[in-house]
Structure 1
Amino acid sequence: MRADAKKNYDHLLNVARTVFMEQGSDASLRDIARRAEVGLGTLYRHFPTREALLEALLRSSFEALAERADELQAADDSAAALMEWLQEIIAFTHEHRGVIAPMVSVIEDHESALHASCVSLRAAGAALLSRAQADGKARADLDGAELFDLIAALAWLREQPSHASRADRIFGIISGAVLNTGKSIARR
């Protein structure tokens, strides 16, 4: 990539990150181009779709969250490591308003540009869960996909103004359920 094209690319990503954090993932691409002081064609040349732009924005963040999960694998307390990572990923999804919906929708869409990033993020969380389960600290009947669903639910809850005040308490309740090995989840 030419130096000026790389500069435009990086600038567009920085502006898009700001706009998405302010307005959510449904923010206007035209607004992003305008705020970046480039033409809409320049934006589309670098990012032909909204999903391509989101993928570029989220890929590095997802990689960092997956690396963080790998770091936490070495923690002495596997339950505390799992809960710390859950808090970090939920905070990330809250900070990046509206990102949870695309994450949930593309996890099963193998053609999506975001699919691989979401799958590796889910796998990182599943590995932390598995370690806590192996240590007898997390319920054995929970899997990585269900953990991802809980993350999505808690992130969604934080995005709802009328429920946000209860989000920390609900996180504590869910944490207790994840770490409670004495009860099983009803399967259908």
Structure 2
Amino acid sequence: MDSAEPKTTETAATAAEPTKLRADARRNRDKLIEVAAVVFPQKGVETSLEDIARQAGVGIGTLYRHFPTREHLVEVVYRRELESLAAAARELAEKHSPDVALEEWMRRFVGYIATKRGMSNSLRILMTSNSSLFAEGFGNMRGALDSLLKTASQQGYIRSDMDTADVMHALASIYSIPDSPEWRDRSLRLIGLLMDGLRAGK
């Protein structure tokens, strides 16, 4: 634990973005979130908050003004990952053919899993205080995947007998792959195998 970190058991009941921040304060907050989103998957959620603040170019006091506890920062990063993943489905569908959009979204899902693995300890704490975050996030993810699958199926890019729940379970199983230097490469290979199965017999 960081020596400067407040001794508190408070968890983040909500992490809605403040609406009344000066432009410089908002930039600082956004930078802290961006750095944490990179550091947590790499080093784990217990990484030094002072290090996150230093990489963001702010003082530790600034970090605590925006995020009073570690769990507040974890929740905001996790929420941002969920929102980005849902938004990516729409963006990819506009830029690519349905099968390519689906595969690229699933590859981004690997990035989401990496972030979740890096924050697992704090996410378990959050589950007891803000379970609606996870229910809402899962619903949004499943909705995004369902939309991509249906479009690809209806346009003949993948097989028509697929089930969104089955594909979601297959993607979620990536989380169980042992942590190792090859974890991401192995996960992406599994995405390729999953897409081969979805395209087969279409």
TM tier, smaller: 0.5 to 0.7
Number of equivalenced pairs = 173
> Could you tell me which of 126, 131, 140 is aligned with 1:120?
140
> Could you tell me which of 96, 110, 117 is aligned with 1:98?
117
What residue is the counterpart of 1:17 in the other structure? 37
C-alpha root-mean-square deviation of aligned residues, in Å?
A: 3.9
What residue is the counterpart of 1:142 in the other structure? 163
What is the Cα deviation at residue 99 of structure 1?
5.2
What residue is the counterpart of 2:49 in the other structure? 32
> Could you tell me which of 63, 67, 78 is aligned with 2:98?
78
Tell me: CA distance 1:160–1:142, structure 2 relative to 1, closer, same or farther (3 Å): farther
* Alpha-carbon contact 2:110-2:187 (below 8 Å) kept: no
Question: Which has the bigger relative contact order, CA under 8 A and spacing at least 6?
Answer: 2
What residue is the counterpart of 2:190 in the other structure? 170
What is the Cα deviation at residue 11 of structure 1?
4.8
Code of the residue aligned with 2:107 in structure 1: it is Q
Code of the residue aligned with 1:80 in structure 2: it is V
What is the Cα deviation at residue 54 of structure 1?
2.6
Code of the residue aligned with 1:38 in structure 2: it is I
In structure 2, stretches of 5+ residues that fail to align are 1-19, 54-58
Tell me: CA distance 1:12–1:114, structure 2 relative to 1, closer, same or farther (3 Å): farther
* Alpha-carbon contact 2:85-2:109 (below 8 Å) kept: yes
Tell me: CA distance 1:2–1:169, structure 2 relative to 1, closer, same or farther (3 Å): closer
With the length of structure 2 as denominator, give the TM-score of the two structures: 0.61
Code of the residue aligned with 1:147 in structure 2: it is V
Tell me: CA distance 1:78–1:2, structure 2 relative to 1, closer, same or farther (3 Å): closer
| SS class of match (2:161) | coil
Tell me: CA distance 1:17–1:81, structure 2 relative to 1, closer, same or farther (3 Å): closer
| SS class of match (2:131) | coil
Separation (CA, whole Å) in 2 of partners of 1:149 and 1:75: 26
Separation (CA, whole Å) in 2 of partners of 1:49 and 1:140: 46
